[in-house]
Amino acid sequence: MPVVEIKLNVTVSEQVLAALSAEVTVALCDSLDPSCATVMVSHTKGPIFVNRTSAPAAWVQVRSAVDLQIEAKRAFCRRLGEALAKHCGLDPQRVFLQLSRIASEDAWNLTAQGPRCVHDRLADQVKAKPTA
């Protein structure tokens, strides 16, 4: 499950945050991981200073166990900048993004069957694929 943390230094409504989260989720799944079933998006507001100025900006961190190809990263970055401009009025040049890949055995969630790591789910997907 990819995790997206968005820190803004501008005030926006809950409705704007919900719309932004939905658009970021779609962009992430389309660009980085079309098979993702769940994306967690969280928001915080606080000071962000870039070059000693607190002009409107965003700091975004994305962590995923999926290997991220460079073209997929570019596509997501472009769509993220567009979404933040549309929903929050941010200049895309004031959007800073960090993409991190984590080991699949370090990404866990609780399921009805008990705790499962992404590594287990990926192994299940490989087993379920038909062989030619």
Q: What is the pLDDT along the chain (132 residues), one digit of tens a residue?
A: 788 999 999 999 999 999 999 999 988 888 766 666 678 899 999 999 988 989 999 999 998 877 778 888 899 999 999 999 999 999 989 999 998 887 766 666 656 556 655 555 555 555 565 555
Looking at the DSSP assignment, which residues form a beta bridge with residue 7? 44, 59
| CATH 3.30.429.10 residue ranges for the chain | 3-101
Beta-strand ranges (E) seen in 38-94 are 40-45, 58-64
Query: What does pTM read for this prediction?
Result: 0.76
Largest CA distance in the chain: 58
d(CA 127, CA 119) in angstroms, rounded, equals: 12
Which region holds residue 52: left if phi is over 0, alpha if psi is between -120 and 50, else beta?
left
Fold classified for 3-101? Macrophage Migration Inhibitory Factor (3.30.429)
